[in-house]
């Protein structure tokens, strides 16, 4: 262990750490193959194939209407809530076809949680009730278990210290940033495998945004995270991989550092440098 008092020579004699073992490519939580989605006759997603790495953050960027939110929502079948939608292709979650006829969408949404652009705590519920509502709806009644999960979820969402004495207050009494973290705690309470985030910071101030970004960084040690963002700098800060969508097509997908320093496709370069249109 190095100490500040060590001389340069002592540090050199101690030797440098052995080089890290060659990094294995990450496993994939999602394997999306030839996905196309239509809203009635309008094609929103056009033949997208991409794999989403386990316990990494994948950012989806692109101009408004490019299909990024549709793609995100298709990862937990939320897009089906819009009438007249149709999907072609396959979406495998841990190798299991999400769109197989024997799969219950409710189960999918428990395994793949979602946080929205605008925080949406249930207005009639307290902070505590908001967090454990998912478990209650799934029939969990054990109070001790619920209390433990409540605290654990709020701690993981970095909100526990701020609300532990106010759990009985309405969820809507919190600030915008706290409400968004409450929604993340609600998502975490049902222990999903994946967290989808649709512009989770777009309605927040810089401090609340920084807290959410820090939280995303911590959560990726346990969860696979896919986030949609319009904020290029945020995508650069928080994500390991970035996908650029344009007019429903996946234009480029790769390591975030590569995309933001030397993208392969001219369309990506034009978009991220602000030369579009």
Partner 1 sequence: MVIPKHILGTFDEVLTSLRKDLLMMAGLAERSLDRALKGLLQRDDDLCANAIADDEEIDQLEKQIDKDGFEILLRFQPVASDLRRVVSAIKLSPNIERVGDQATNIAKRARKLNRHPPLPEVEWIVPMQAYAMSMFKDSINAYVRENVELANSVCSRDKQLDDMNRDANKKLTERMMEDKDQLRGYFNLLLVSRALERVGDHATNIAEDAVYTAAAEDIRHKGSLIAST
Residues of the shown chain interacting with partner 1 in the complex, contacts defined by CB under 8 A: 232-233, 236, 260-263, 268-270, 272-277
45 vs 272, beta carbon nearer partner 1: 272
Task: Choose between 253 and 260: whose C-beta lies nearer to partner 1.
Answer: 260
Query: What is the arrangement of strands in the sheet containing 85-93, beginning at the earlier edge strand?
Result: 42-53, 28-39, 85-93, 96-97
User: Of the two residues 118 and 275, which places its CB atom closer to partner 1 in the complex?
Assistant: 275
With contact defined as beta carbons under 8 Å apart, do 154 and 109 qualify?
no
Residue 233, SS3 per DSSP = helix
In 3D space, the residue among 50, 30, 59, 53 whose CA is nearest the CA of residue 200 turns out to be 59
The answer to whether 177 and 162 are in contact (CB under 8 A) is: no
Tokens of 31: 């394997």
CA dihedral 225→227→231→232, nearest 10 degrees, is 60
Comparing CB distances to partner 1, the nearer of 195 and 259 is 259
CB of 173 to partner 1, least distance (A): 35
Listed residue (216, 207, 240, 242) closest to 156, CA to CA = 216
Q: Would you say 25 or 277 has its CB closer to partner 1?
A: 277
Q: Which residues partner with 166 through β-bridges? A: none
200/263 with CB nearer partner 1: 263
Q: How far is the CB of 236 from partner 1 (least distance, A)?
A: 7
In sequence order, the β-bridge partners of residue 197 are 115, 227
């Amino acid at each position: 262990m190095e100490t500040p008092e060590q001389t340069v020579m002592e540090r050199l004699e101690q030797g440098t750490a052995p080089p890290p073992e060659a990094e294995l490519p990450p496993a994939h939580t999602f394997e999306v193959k030839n996905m196309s989605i239509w809203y009635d006759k309008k094609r929103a997603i056009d033949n997208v194939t991409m794999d989403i790495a386990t316990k990494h953050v994948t950012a989806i960027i692109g101009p408004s209407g490019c299909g990024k939110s549709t793609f995100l929502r298709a990862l937990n079948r939320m897009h089906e809530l819009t009438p007249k939608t149709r999907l072609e292709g396959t979406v495998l979650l841990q190798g299991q076809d999400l769109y197989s006829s024997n799969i219950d969408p409710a189960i999918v949404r428990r395994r793949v949680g979602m946080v929205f652009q605008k925080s949406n705590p249930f207005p009639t519920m307290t902070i505590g009730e908001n967090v454990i509502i998912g478990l209650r709806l799934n029939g969990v009644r054990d109070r001790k278990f619920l209390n433990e999960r409540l605290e654990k979820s709020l701690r993981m969402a970095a909100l526990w210290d701020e609300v532990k004495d106010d759990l009985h207050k309405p969820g809507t009494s919190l600030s915008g940033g706290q409400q968004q973290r409450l929604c993340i705690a609600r998502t975490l309470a049902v222990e999903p495998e994946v967290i989808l985030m649709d512009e989770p910071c777009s309605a927040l101030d810089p401090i609340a945004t920084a807290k959410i970004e820090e939280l995303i960084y911590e959560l990726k040690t346990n969860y696979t995270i896919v986030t949609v963002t319009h904020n290029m700098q945020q995508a650069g800060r928080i994500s390991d991989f970035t996908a650029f969508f344009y007019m429903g097509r996946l234009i480029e997908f790769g390591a975030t550092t590569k995309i933001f320093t030397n993208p392969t496709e001219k369309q990506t370069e034009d978009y991220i440098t602000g030369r579009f249109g």
